[in-house]
C-alpha cells in the first residue's frame, strides 16, 4: 500500500499506522449505513484513526523517512499517488490531534444523521490524502473531495436558509480558488514538459521564466489563500465555520484551513524554492492585515462560534507573518534564519490546530449544555462544567499567546523571525520596514486577542448566568470532557516542550530551504528551550520549561499564602446597596465597547437606542439597544463582486437556451475556432 524509503522498524511501523488509519476511516464511513449502533462504531473508529494519524505523523517527524504509494486508475485517467515527507508530517500531527479529540466528542452522541456520520470519516480521509498527494491529479482529486465533503457537512444537516447561503458562498469561493490553482498547476505542468508530479516541477522550476513564476505565485496565493482564509479572501470563513456542527468546525478551523498553508509552503517554498523579496512582502502584508482585522472583528462578535471563526483569520495571519519572513530571508540567502521563521509558521500551524479545536469543542460543549451560542445570554457556566471551563481557559490563554503555553512559544518564534528580517543588513530597506510594521501589528494582535478571550471566557463561564437556560445547564458527557482536557494538556505540553518541537520543525524547514550563506543560530542550551539569534547577535533564549517551572513555584507560594489566610467570609457582591442582578454585569457587547470606540474609524460602528418613557414623565419603561459594526471588505468588495457575478450569470443564462440544436451549434463553432487556432 505504502512503503518507506528505508527499511527500519519505525518506518515499517509508520507504514502500518497509515494503512490502519485508512482502513479505520473506510470502515467508519461504511458503518453508518449498516448495523445497530452505527454512529457509535463510526465515531469510535474515527477516534482511533485520528490517533493512528497522529502516531504516523510523529513517526515520520522522528524517523525522517518518506513514504510513497501509488494505486489504481481513477476514472481510467491516472493513478492516485502519495508521498508523505516531513512537511506532510507536521500537518498530519495537527490533523491527528484535532480529529482524535473531535471524534471523541461525538462518541455516545445520539441522533447523528447517517449522512453526517458517514461523510465525516471521508472528510478526514480526504485531508489525509491532500497532505500526501504527490502530483497535480491526486492533489486536486483529494482537494475537491475535501471541499465537497466539508460543504456537505456544513449544509447537509440543517439546511435552513442562512446555512445554505453560507454553504453556497463557501462552495463558490472554494471553487474560484480551485480554478486559480488549476491554472497555476497548468502553468507548472506546461513548463515541465507535461509532467504532473511535484518532483518534476521542482526540477524544472529553476528554468522557469520570471513572469511565469510570478504568475504562479499570484495564482497559488489566491488559491491557497482562499482556503486558508487570509484577507482579502476570507469572506466565506466566518459564515461557514459557525454553522457546521462543532466537531466539524473544530476540524475546519483547526486543520482544513491549514491545508491552504500546507499548499503555500509546498508550492512556493518546496517546489519553486522561494522567490524574489516582494513575494515575502506580499505575504507579510496579507498576514499583518489578516491578523489585526481578524482579531478586531472577532472582538465585535457575540456569537461564540463566529468569534472563534474570526480568530482563525487572525491566526492564519500570524502563520503568514512567519512564512513571509521566511521567504524574505530566504530570498536574501539567510538560510538559517529563514528556516527558523518557517519553523515558526509550522509550529504555529500545529499549535493553532490544537487550541482552536479545543476552543471549538468547548463552544460545542457550551452549545450542547445550554443550546445557546449568544454570549450575552451565557454566564456562570464554570459552576456546572468546571473541567470544560478550565480547559477552555487554558485554550484561551494559549491562543492569546501567553507563556508558558504553546501559542506563546510559536508567537515568540514569529517575533524572532520578524526581528531577524527587520534587523539583518542584506535584506532591502522596504522589506525591513514591512517587517518592522509587522512587529507592531503582531504586538497589537496578541494584546487584542487577550482582550477578546477575557471577554469570551469571562462572559461565558464566570459571573452570574444571564438566562434561565444558562442557569439550568448541566455538565457535558465524559468523552467531551476528556477531549477538551486532552487538548488542554497538549497546549501545556507543546508549550513546555517547545525546544524539542522547534528543533524537529527546524529540521523539516531546513530540508525545504535552499542552502545559502548562513547566520549562525545558536542552539546550545542545556534546558529545553527555544533559541534564536536574529541578526547574528548574541543568542536569544526562551527557556520554556524553566519559565514554566519558575511560574509554578511562584504561583504555588502565593497559593499557600492565600490558603493559610483563615476561614473565608462570603458576602454578596457590592452593588451600591441593592441585590446583585445578572443584568448589572458587563456583557460581551459592553465589554468590547472601548475597543469598538477606539477603532471606530476601522470598524465603522452603528448604534441604535430606543427608549420608551412612562407617559408624561422622564422615567424609562423599556429600552432597546442595537449595535453593529461594518465589515468593510464584505460590504465594499464582496457584495459588489457577488452582484456582478449574478448579473454575469443572468447574461450566461441567455446563452443557455436549453435547445439541443443550440448546443450542437456551439460545439461546431468551438471546433471551427479550434481548427483555425491550431492551423
Instruction: Find the binding residues for other proteins in span 358-387 (CB under 8 A).
Output: 379-380, 382-383, 386
Q: Does residue 491 belong to the site contacting other proteins (CB under 8 A)?
A: no
574 or 677: CB nearest other proteins: 574
Q: Select from 156, 186, 403, 528 the one that contacts other proteins (CB under 8 A).
A: 403
Q: Looking only at residues 428 through 447 of this chain, which bind other proteins when binding is defined by CB under 8 A?
A: 429, 432-433, 436-437, 439-444, 446-447
What are the phi and psi torsion angles at 497 (to 5°)? Answer: -95, 25
Establish if 423 lies at the interface with other proteins (CB under 8 A): yes
Distance CA 397, CA 454 (A): 9
- How far apart (Å, rounded) are the C-alpha atoms in residues 90 and 319? 14
User: Which of these, 363, 352, 297, lies nearest to 319 by C-alpha position?
Assistant: 352
Q: Which is nearer to other proteins, 195 or 590 (CB)?
A: 590
Comparison of 145 and 437: residue with beta carbon closer to other proteins = 437
Smallest distance, other proteins to C-beta of residue 444, A: 5
Asked whether position 661 contacts other proteins by CB under 8 A, the answer is: no
Q: Which stretch binds other proteins (CB under 8 A): 41-49, 94-102, 175-183, 396-404?
A: 396-404
C-alpha cell at 413: 518564534
Rounded CA-CA distance 533/540 in Å is: 6
Q: Which is nearer to other proteins, 386 or 620 (CB)?
A: 386
**d(Cα 242, Cα 249) in Å, to the nearest integer?**
7
Q: Can you tell me which of 25, 595, 629, 631 binds other proteins, judged by CB under 8 A? A: 595
Output the smallest distance, CB 633 to other proteins, in A: 22
Residues 343 and 325: beta-carbon distance below 8 Å: no
* Closer Cβ to other proteins, 96 or 417, answer by number: 417
Range 24-43, binding other proteins (CB under 8 A): none
- State in angstroms the smallest separation of the CB of 574 from other proteins: 7
Question: Rounded to an integer, what distance in angstroms lies between the CA atom of residue 554 and that of residue 398?
Answer: 20
Q: Considering only 19-27, 73-81, 489-497, 594-602, which stretch makes contact with other proteins by CB under 8 A?
A: 594-602
Parallel, antiparallel, or unpaired: how do β-strands 530-532 and 606-613 relate?
unpaired
For residue 432 the three cell numbers come to 525591513
For residues 562 and 558, what is the distance between their CA atoms, to the nearest angstrom?
A: 6
Reduce the DSSP state of residue 135 to 3 states and report it: strand
Site map (CB under 8 A) of other proteins, residues 495-534, x = contact: ------------------------------x-x-----xx
CB of 419 to other proteins, least distance (A): 6
Nearer to other proteins, 322 or 458 (CB): 458
514-518 long-range contacts, CB within 8 A, separation 24+: 514/273, 514/274, 514/330, 514/335, 515/335, 516/330, 516/333, 516/334, 516/335, 516/338, 517/333, 517/334, 517/335, 518/334, 518/335, 518/336, 518/337
Return d(Cα 501, Cα 62) in angstroms, integer.
10
Residues 529-558 that bind other proteins (CB under 8 A): 533-543, 546-547, 550-551, 554-558
CB of 90 to other proteins, least distance (A): 23
Distance CA 653, CA 639 (A): 21
**Closest separation in Å from C-beta 531 to other proteins:** 10
Could you give the C-alpha distances from 34 to 37, 38, 39, 124, 152, in angstroms and in order? 9, 6, 10, 20, 21
In the beta sheet, which residues pair with residue 608? Answer: 626
Q: Least distance from C-beta 412 to other proteins, angstroms?
A: 5
Q: Which of 267, 269, 259, 188 is nearest to 226 (CA)?
A: 259
Smallest gap from residue 303 Cβ to other proteins (A)? 19
Q: Given the complex with other proteins, which of 156 and 403 has the nearer CB atom?
A: 403
Record the cell numbers describing residue 354, joined without a space.
490544537
Is the separation of the CB atoms in 445 and 352 below 8 Å?
no
In whole angstroms, give the CA distance from residue 13 to residue 176.
40
Size of the site for other proteins (CB under 8 A): 94
Nearer Cβ to other proteins, position 70 or 627?
627
In the complex, minimum distance from the CB of residue 275 to other proteins, in angstroms, rounded to a whole number:
22
Bridge pairing between strands 530-532 and 540-542: antiparallel
Which element (helix H / strand E) includes 651? helix 639-655
Give least dist CB 421 to other proteins, A.
10
Binding positions for other proteins, 442-471, rule CB under 8 A: 442-444, 446-448, 450-451, 453-455, 457-459, 462-464
CA angle 214, 216, 218 (to 5 degrees): 70
Window contacting other proteins (CB under 8 A); options: 33-41, 323-331, 397-405, 620-628: 397-405
Q: Considering only residues 9, 77, 524, 562, which one is a binding residue for other proteins as defined by CB under 8 A?
A: 562
SS3 132: coil
Nearer residue to other proteins within complex by CB, 106 or 532 = 532
Nearer residue to other proteins within complex by CB, 333 or 432: 432
Query: Is 280 or 534 the residue whose CB approaches other proteins more closely?
Result: 534
Q: What angle do CA 519, 523, 526 make, to 5 degrees?
A: 160
Smaller CB distance to other proteins: residue 568 or 617?
A: 568
The number of residues in the chain equals 679
Tell me which residues in 596-635 interact with other proteins (CB under 8 A): 597-599
Q: Which is nearer to other proteins, 209 or 571 (CB)?
A: 571
Q: Which is nearer to other proteins, 10 or 493 (CB)?
A: 493
Task: State the nearest-atom distance from the C-beta of 538 to other proteins, in Å.
Answer: 4
Span 45-74, contacts to other proteins by CB under 8 A: none
Cα separation, 79 vs 60, in Å, equals: 24
Q: Can you tell me which of 594, 620, 640, 657 binds other proteins, judged by CB under 8 A? A: 594
User: Site for other proteins (CB under 8 A): which residue of 6, 158, 478, 593?
Assistant: 593
Alpha-carbon Rg for the chain in angstroms: 26
Amino acid at each position: 500500500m505504502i512503503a518507506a524509503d528505508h527499511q527500519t522498524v519505525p518506518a515499517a511501523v509508520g507504514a502500518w499506522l497509515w494503512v490502519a488509519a485508512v482502513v479505520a476511516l473506510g470502515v467508519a464511513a461504511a458503518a453508518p449505513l449498516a448495523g445497530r449502533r452505527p454512529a457509535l462504531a463510526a465515531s469510535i473508529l474515527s477516534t482511533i484513526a485520528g490517533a493512528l494519524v497522529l502516531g504516523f505523523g510523529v513517526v515520520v517527524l522522528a524517523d525522517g523517512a518518506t513514504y510513497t504509494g501509488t494505486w489504481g486508475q481513477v476514472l481510467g485517467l491516472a493513478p492516485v499517488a502519495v508521498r508523505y515527507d516531513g512537511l506532510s508530517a507536521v500537518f498530519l500531527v495537527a490533523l491527528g490531534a484535532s480529529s482524535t479529540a473531535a471524534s471523541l466528542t461525538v462518541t455516545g452522541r445520539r441522533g447523528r444523521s447517517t449522512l453526517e456520520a458517514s461523510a465525516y470519516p471521508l472528510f478526514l480521509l480526504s485531508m489525509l490524502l491532500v497532505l500526501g498527494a504527490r502530483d497535480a491529479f491526486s492533489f486536486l482529486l483529494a482537494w475537491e473531495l475535501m471541499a465537497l465533503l466539508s460543504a456537505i457537512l456544513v449544509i447537509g444537516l440543517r439546511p435552513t436558509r442562512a446555512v445554505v447561503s453560507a454553504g453556497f458562498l463557501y462552495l463558490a469561493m472554494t471553487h474560484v480558488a480551485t480554478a486559480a490553482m488549476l491554472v497555476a498547476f497548468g502553468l507548472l505542468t506546461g513548463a515541465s514538459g507535461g509532467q504532473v508530479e511535484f518532483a518534476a516541477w521542482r526540477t524544472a522550476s529553476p528554468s522557469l521564466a520570471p513572469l511565469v513564476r510570478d504568475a504562479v505565485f499570484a495564482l497559488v496565493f489566491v488559491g491557497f489563500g482562499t482556503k486558508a482564509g487570509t484577507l482579502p479572501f476570507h469572506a466565506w470563513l466566518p459564515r461557514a465555520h459557525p454553522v457546521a456542527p462543532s466537531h466539524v468546525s473544530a476540524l475546519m478551523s483547526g486543520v482544513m484551513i491549514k491545508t491552504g498553508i500546507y499548499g503555500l509552503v509546498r508550492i512556493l517554498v518546496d517546489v519553486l524554492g522561494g522567490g524574489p523579496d516582494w513575494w515575502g512582502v506580499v505575504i507579510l502584508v496579507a498576514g499583518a492585515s489578516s491578523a489585526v482585522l481578524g482579531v478586531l472583528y472577532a472582538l465585535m462578535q457575540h456569537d461564540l462560534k463566529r468569534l472563534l471563526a474570526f480568530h482563525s483569520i487572525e491566526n492564519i495571519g500570524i502563520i503568514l507573518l512567519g512564512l513571509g519572513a521566511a521567504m524574505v530571508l530566504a530570498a536574501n540567502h539567510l538560510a538559517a534564519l529563514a528556516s527558523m521563521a518557517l519553523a515558526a509558521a509550522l509550529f504555529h500551524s500545529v499549535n493553532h490546530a490544537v487550541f482552536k479545536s479545543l476552543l471549538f469543542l468547548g463552544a460545542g460543549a457550551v452549545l450542547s449544555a445550554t443550546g445557546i451560542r449568544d454570549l450575552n445570554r451565557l454566564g456562570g457556566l464554570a459552576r456546572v462544567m468546571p473541567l470544560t471551563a478550565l480547559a477552555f481557559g487554558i485554550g484561551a490563554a494559549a491562543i492569546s499567546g501567553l507563556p508558558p503555553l504553546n501559542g506563546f512559544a510559536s508567537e515568540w518564534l514569529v517575533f524572532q523571525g520578524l526581528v531577524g528580517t527587520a534587523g539583518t543588513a542584506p535584506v532591502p530597506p522596504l522589506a525591513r520596514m514591512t517587517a518592522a510594521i509587522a512587529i507592531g501589528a503582531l504586538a497589537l494582535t496578541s494584546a487584542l486577542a487577550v482582550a477578546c478571550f477575557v471577554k469570551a471566557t469571562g462572559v461565558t463561564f464566570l459571573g452570574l448566568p444571564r438566562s434561565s437556560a444558562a442557569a439550568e445547564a448541566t455538565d457535558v458527557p465524559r468523552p467531551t470532557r476528556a477531549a477538551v482536557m486532552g487538548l488542554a494538556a497538549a497546549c501545556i505540553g507543546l508549550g513546555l516542550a517547545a525546544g524539542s518541537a522547534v528543533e524537529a520543525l527546524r529540521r523539516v524547514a531546513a530540508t525545504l530551504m535552499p542552502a545559502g550563506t548562513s547566520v549562525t543560530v545558536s542552539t546550545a542550551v542545556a534546558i529545553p528551550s527555544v533559541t534564536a539569534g536574529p541578526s547574528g547577535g548574541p543568542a536569544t533564549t526562551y527557556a520554556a520549561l524553566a519559565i514554566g517551572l519558575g511560574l509554578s513555584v511562584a504561583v504555588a507560594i502565593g497559593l499557600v499564602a492565600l490558603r493559610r489566610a483563615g476561614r473565608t467570609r462570603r458576602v454578596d457582591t457590592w452593588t451600591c446597596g441593592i441585590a446583585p442582578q445578572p443584568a448589572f454585569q458587563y456583557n460581551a457587547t459592553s465589554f468590547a465597547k472601548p475597543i469598538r470606540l477606539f477603532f471606530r474609524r476601522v470598524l465603522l460602528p452603528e448604534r441604535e437606542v430606543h427608549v420608551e418613557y412612562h407617559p408624561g414623565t422622564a422615567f424609562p419603561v423599556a429600552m432597546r439597544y442595537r449595535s453593529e459594526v461594518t465589515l468593510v471588505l464584505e460590504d465594499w468588495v464582496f457584495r459588489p463582486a457577488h452582484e456582478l457575478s449574478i448579473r454575469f450569470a443572468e447574461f450566461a443564462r441567455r446563452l443557455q437556451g436549453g435547445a439541443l440544436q443550440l448546443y450542437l451549434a456551439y460545439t461546431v463553432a468551438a471546433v471551427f475556432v479550434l481548427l483555425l487556432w491550431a492551423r
